[in-house]
Structure 1
Amino acid sequence: MKIFYIKYPSKKTVWLLAIAALLALILLIFALMKTVSVFNTNEPIYRGDTKEKKIAFACNVAWGDEYIPKMLDIFEKNDVHITFFFEGKWAEKNPDVVKEIYKKGHEIGSHGYSHIKYTSLSKEDCEKDIKKSEEALEKITGEKPTLFAPPYGDFNEQVVKIAEELGYKVILWSLDTIDWSNPSPQTIVERVMNKCHNGAIVLMHPTKNTVEALPEIIKQLKEKGFKITKVSEVIVDKK
């Protein structure tokens, strides 16, 4: 009668097999994450390159035209150029203002044609509204906008996908002045200065208190070594 002995692997072999299995699992997880990141591109841009000491100002305009001339004077005096996102309907009523801003070297972006929540629209209506704003702005400046700031910062995957298919980068913000709620100029200054960071996109609107806060914001940011610029100059192209 033959007796068979089962030879168990040594402890060293077991450890090597365990390490190999762990490495294989890590590589698999990494590959899956990379695959997801490739296909999950329907996300807006909240901030720019954090390696450079730059901050972008993004001014959404659907009202407040009485404060824009003073804003432009402040920017010109301080050699600052920013990005204005215009509602198409507003731009059609104020073409000379849009044209002046464009000629002064500021960047023009789209804020949609109607100040409406895009997530409430059908795919067709969403596309129609973005295109209508594009036509209005291009007619005034002669240049197609490439940046889109959805009204209210309201978006979903469909909104971002449609905008990107139409050739836009969808822009939100990393620092909000919340100036539409009528805070004091000092509060606006503090909101910006307490949270300023490399690559920040600072959201603002043409309001009386924003105009009063701007000189101090610009002064303090420059003292900290920041360059204040347009959105396109801070964002990293994710495509």
Structure 2
Amino acid sequence: MVLRRVILACLIALLIPSGGSSAAGSAPSGEDYLTALASALSEMESGNLIGANQFLTSAFALRRDEPLAYLTRGVLLLQCGAYAQAEGAFRDAAKLGGDSALGARGLALSRLGLRDYAGASQALAGITAPEDADEAAIVRAYVALLSGQKVDLDRFDEQDPRVRLMKAFSALSAGKTPDPALLDVPWAEPSGPALDRGVTMGLDCSEPLMPVASSSEVRAITGPVRPGGTLAGTVRLRADAARTPEAALFLFYVGDRLLGVVNSPPFEISWDTTRFPNGVHRVTIRGQDLNGVVVGEVSSDVMVANLAPEVGRPLQGPAAERILRAIRESLRLRPNATWAQFRLGEMHQAAGRRSEAMLCYARILAFRPGYRDVQQRWRALARFTASAPVWKGNAGTQGIALTFDDGPNDGTPALLRQLERLSVRGTFFLVGSQARKRPDLVRAIAAAGHELACHSETHRSLAEMDREEIIRELFGPIAAVQEATGRVPRFFRPPGGHLSSEGRRVAAEFGLTPVMWSANCGPYEGGPVSGMEQYVASAASGSVVLMHNCEATTLEALPGIVQRLRSRGLSPGRLADVLR
């Protein structure tokens, strides 16, 4: 799309000093450095590795002679599968006087990732401190298992999911079928599609550790830590809306902080960099259409340096100790929920439990679509047939499909009550991240007889995503809906209707049907009820009507819409009803 190129050009070319003083900020302190490291570790824990890298780059901009940053860098590189680079970071930390036990744990995991089991064992040998000994014992047992040695796993806590997975791995290595209870590792939480984050065991002799970073994250993170262009004082950010007709407004961010929203020329905003800490910040300009759909977005990392950074001795004290504790936790070997789901899927598939196997594989596709042959396995079980995008149904059905996007949300119960009063069943296109947070509402929609469909995982435009991202966006809601109801939705509506040729290919490959619309109520949902009633009631037989869950105008207009459609001999209902 044009928008990405235009915003990028504007972002680089129009960061223009506006006369602000570069001396207005304060010199960065040890507190700034530790705050950046704490933020980096927090972002890693939440699975946002790109954000973690930005904060870590800021920390390096402030201090390059302090070991905590190198320890943190090592942890991040381990999650990217860059094991040789991670080892270098841990060795650099040791040269600067970093915590020896943490350095040894980092070196052991680096050597493990490189499949050097002897080197990993050697690094672990000297760890005796109580706060590190238990973790070192788990890693030693794991290294021994991968080396083909017999290990007494009963001496460990049986509630530890890592121990259960090692027992399952041991059974499989011996040609036995593991107890399914050993594979009971939570795969999801409301805040995200998977728990595989951090330094994760691979449970595979060819991949002892499983990188959790995506390919795009690896490319962004494993390069040298080099801050980009330097800014000071007040600068201006501008978007060229004349070349982006799809965008009705632009949102300007620095990190997660919204600077402002601009919907009129010259589409420009000022940024006082002295109000932000020195270091690297990600500046993002995001374009949205009238429906609030993101039609394009681009980011650029810039260095804020209002005064020269300080240098000094390695930091100590309570704040530094908190960072050490966070690094210690980040170096804890994590269980592999993806591996567990894959093995469960294999067992269900072998036993002929098709639906259960599909759910296991869908969960993996929602997070790690490149894992082993999971794509082929899901397709073989689903046996869905590719269909062309649907814009309109069969006029001979005398039906009108009422479809509702963007749920489930707090407005869903009211919408369900209204449809129940009207004896109408519709089709709900659900956002995966919201469905995962509100499985009760997903079940309520299904129980009321409505059709369940998908509306992406994050409600971002699919137009510029690569294959891996598209699969995640499609299968996030599929997994959430199936887990809540047992149903496997085949219809999906791309946010804003934006779907690239790659998106169409991916949908066809998995037998998923893109659904567009022949009547879009978006422009009417913010206006008077009478206008929306008249618009929908005039729709032709077989029309697919797009509404939203749940605009106030939609809720009020539904009785009149249904009454007027029925008076014309048309039957408002589900998408499937008009496709017969």
TM-score, with length taken from structure 1: 0.76
Match of 1:103 in 2: 447
Q: Which of the numbers 382, 392, 395 marks the counterpart of 1:47?
A: 392
Output the CA distance in 1 between the equivalents of 2:570 and 2:387.
Answer: 30
Residue 402 of structure 2: aligned partner: 57
**1 CA distance for matches of 2:488 and 2:387?**
21
Matches within 5 A, 1:216-231: 216-231=560-575
1:197 corresponds to? 540
1:115-143 Cα offsets, whole Å, 9 max, x none, are 11101100111112211221111111111
RMSD, aligned CA: 1.7
- Aligned partner of residue 45 in structure 1, secondary structure: coil
Equivalences, count: 194
Task: For 1:66-215, list aligned pairs within 5 A.
Answer: 66-178=410-522, 182-194=526-538, 196-205=539-548, 206-215=550-559
Identity of aligned residues (%): 27
The answer on whether the counterparts of 1:164 and 1:170 sit within 8 Å (CA) in structure 2 is no
CA contact (8 A) 2:387 2:512 kept: no
In the superposition, relative to structure 1, how do residues 174 and 83 fare at CA in structure 2: closer, same or farther (>3 Å)?
same
Structure 1 contact 112–150 (Cα < 8 Å) conserved:
yes
Once the 2 structures are TM-superposed, how far is the Cα of residue 220 of structure 1 from its aligned partner? 0.5
Distance 2:495 2:565 in 1: 27
- The alpha-carbon deviation at position 176 of structure 1 amounts to 0.9
Tell me the SS of whatever aligns to 1:55: strand
Which runs of no fewer than 5 residues in structure 1 stay unpaired? 1-40
Greater alpha carbon shift after TM alignment, 169-178 vs 68-77: 68-77
> How big is the shift at 1:180?
7.5
Task: Please list every run of 5 or more consecutive structure 2 residues that lacks an aligned counterpart in the other structure.
Answer: 1-385
Q: CA deviation at 1:181?
A: 5.6
Contact 2:430/2:456, CA 8 A, preserved across alignment: yes
Contact 1:85–1:109 (CA under 8 A) maintained in structure 2: yes
TM-score by length of 2: 0.32
Aligned partner of residue 61 in structure 1, secondary structure: strand
Measure, in 2, the Cα distance between the counterparts of 1:121 and 1:181: 29
Distance 2:387 2:502 in 1: 8
Provide the residue aligned with 2:239 in structure 1.
none
> Which residue of structure 1 aligns with residue 224 of structure 2?
none
Tell me the distance in 1 between the aligned counterparts of 2:407 and 2:447: 20
Distance of 2:523 and 2:438 partners within structure 1: 22
Give yes or no for contact 1:189–1:216 (8 Å, CA) kept in 2.
yes
Contact 2:462 2:498 (8 Å CA) reproduced: yes
Is the contact between residue 45 and residue 235 of structure 1 (CA under 8 Å) also seen in structure 2?
no
Q: 1:117 to 1:188 in 2, by over 3 A?
A: same
Give distance in 1, aligned partners of 2:512 and 2:575.
13
* Higher RCO structure (Cα 8 Å, ≥6 apart): 1
Q: Deviations over 1:128-182 (max 9, x none)?
A: 2211221111111111111111111111222122112222111010011115761
